[in-house]
């Protein structure tokens, strides 16, 4: 990321820290439900003339540059290749290479022109493990397992694109409660009371699944040329959206857990201004799904290569 983008995001973060908690009153917002037919599905349905369904994709990772080996790691990897060639895979090794990664995803809608592309740029490593295996005929071979590891605590920068036009640019804070400046400025959001869900099923593990916290993160940047902040409160399981320092939307996602019984399922919904236009409402539907995608992706330890 070049210096100008870094400066832009730092300045934007400072503004968000100072003012994003100014207004968190939800009494003036109306509830609009979503429909989600299946548990663990990424497909959501809406009662809207322009958008009746949308889904978010699974994240994919690809390298941005080649990265580099340390001399020690390169020698270790080369030695394993030699061992495989001459001794039938005598060594088992693990090597790592520093890499820059691009994590991609998409909000897919019934109309292609409403699709959004999500790009997350981050640093990390490529882990390569060579494991000796015995084949059915008794011979030996080496299987190479490649794993993409992402450093979510480092600089993670994101872009949101619609019809090849950038409509969003943001910085991700993967542990917002650990950022004292950001946390103290948004205590009202983070200290939101958690609603404990109850069920007729008294099994301890089921009750824990019913009230399990969600992944927590924050997004600070711009959306359609306006200041934008998203705070995902994992404890209360609410997603708070601010535009130009004002609370404009709250998203309550569904409980995505295979253990949850049908009668205990809660359908997702958003709280928005009742006077919001149809065009803006389509944005909030898609932004809600972006928050679901980020919740599934941020903090993910590794990706298969």
Which of 104, 84, 106 has the alpha carbon at shortest distance from 93? 84
- Please compute, for residue 280, the number of CA atoms within 13 A of its CA located in the half-sphere on the CB side: 11
pLDDT value of residue 251:
98
User: For 155-187, how does the pLDDT look when each residue is reduced to its tens digit (9 = 90+)?
Assistant: 999 999 999 999 999 999 999 999 999 999 999
Which of 233, 243, 234, 256 has the alpha carbon at shortest distance from 287? 243
Give dist(CA 36, CA 14) in Å, integer: 37
Q: What is the DSSP letter of 197?
A: P
Is the CB of residue 127 less than 8 Å from the CB of residue 96?
A: yes
Instruction: With a cut of 60, say whether residue 14 has pLDDT above it.
Output: no
Give dist(CA 167, CA 113) in Å, integer: 13
User: For 255-270, how does the pLDDT look when each residue is reduced to its tens digit (9 = 90+)?
Assistant: 877 888 888 888 999 9
**Domain boundaries along the sequence of the chain:** 3-63+111-123+154-300
Instruction: With a cut of 70, say whether residue 233 has pLDDT above it.
Output: yes
Under the banding of pLDDT at 50, 70 and 90, the label for residue 195 is confident
State the pTM of this model. 0.83
Instruction: With a cut of 80, say whether residue 227 has pLDDT above it.
Output: yes
pLDDT value of residue 144:
82
Is the CB of residue 266 less than 8 Å from the CB of residue 231?
A: no
CA of 87: how far to CAs of 46, 79, 142, 294, in Å?
Answer: 61, 11, 11, 46
What integer best gives the mean pLDDT of the chain?
Answer: 84
Burial-class residue 271 by CB neighbours within 10 Å (0-12, 13-18, 19+): buried
User: For 26-45, how does the pLDDT look when each residue is reduced to its tens digit (9 = 90+)?
Assistant: 888 999 999 998 888 999 99
237 three-class SS: coil
User: For 125-140, how does the pLDDT look when each residue is reduced to its tens digit (9 = 90+)?
Assistant: 988 888 877 778 777 7
């Amino acid at each position: 990321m070049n210096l100008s983008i870094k400066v832009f995001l730092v300045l934007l973060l400072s503004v968000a820290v100072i003012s994003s908690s100014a207004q968190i009153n939800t009494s003036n917002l109306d509830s609009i439900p979503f429909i989600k037919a299946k548990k663990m599905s990424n497909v959501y349905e809406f009662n809207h003339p322009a958008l009746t369904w949308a889904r978010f994709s699974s994240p994919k990772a690809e390298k941005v540059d080649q990265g580099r080996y340390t001399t020690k790691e390169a020698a270790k990897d080369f030695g394993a290749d030699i061992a495989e060639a001459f001794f039938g895979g005598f060594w088992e090794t693990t090597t790592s290479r520093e890499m820059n990664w691009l994590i991609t995803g998409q909000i897919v809608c019934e109309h292609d022109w409403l699709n959004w592309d999500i790009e997350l740029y981050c640093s990390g490593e490529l882990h390569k493990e060579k494991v000796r295996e015995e084949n059915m005929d008794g011979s030996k071979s080496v299987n190479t397992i490649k794993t993409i590891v992402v450093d979510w605590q480092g600089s993670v920068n994101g872009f949101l694109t619609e019809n090849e036009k950038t409509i969003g640019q943001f910085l991700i804070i993967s542990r917002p409660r650990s950022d004292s400046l950001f946390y103290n400025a948004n205590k009202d959001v983070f200290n939101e009371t958690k609603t404990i869900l109850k069920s007729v099923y008294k099994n301890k593990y089921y009750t824990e699944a019913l009230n399990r916290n969600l992944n927590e993160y924050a997004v600070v940047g711009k959306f359609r040329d306006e200041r934008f902040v998203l705070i995902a409160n994992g404890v209360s399981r609410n997603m708070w959206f601010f535009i130009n320092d004002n609370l404009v939307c709250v998203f309550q996602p569904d409980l995505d857990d295979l253990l949850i019984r049908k009668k205990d399922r809660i359908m997702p919904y958003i709280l928005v201004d009742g006077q919001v236009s149809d065009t803006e409402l389509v944005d909030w539907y898609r932004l809600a799904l972006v928050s679901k995608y980020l919740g599934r992706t941020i903090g993910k330890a590794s990706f298969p290569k």
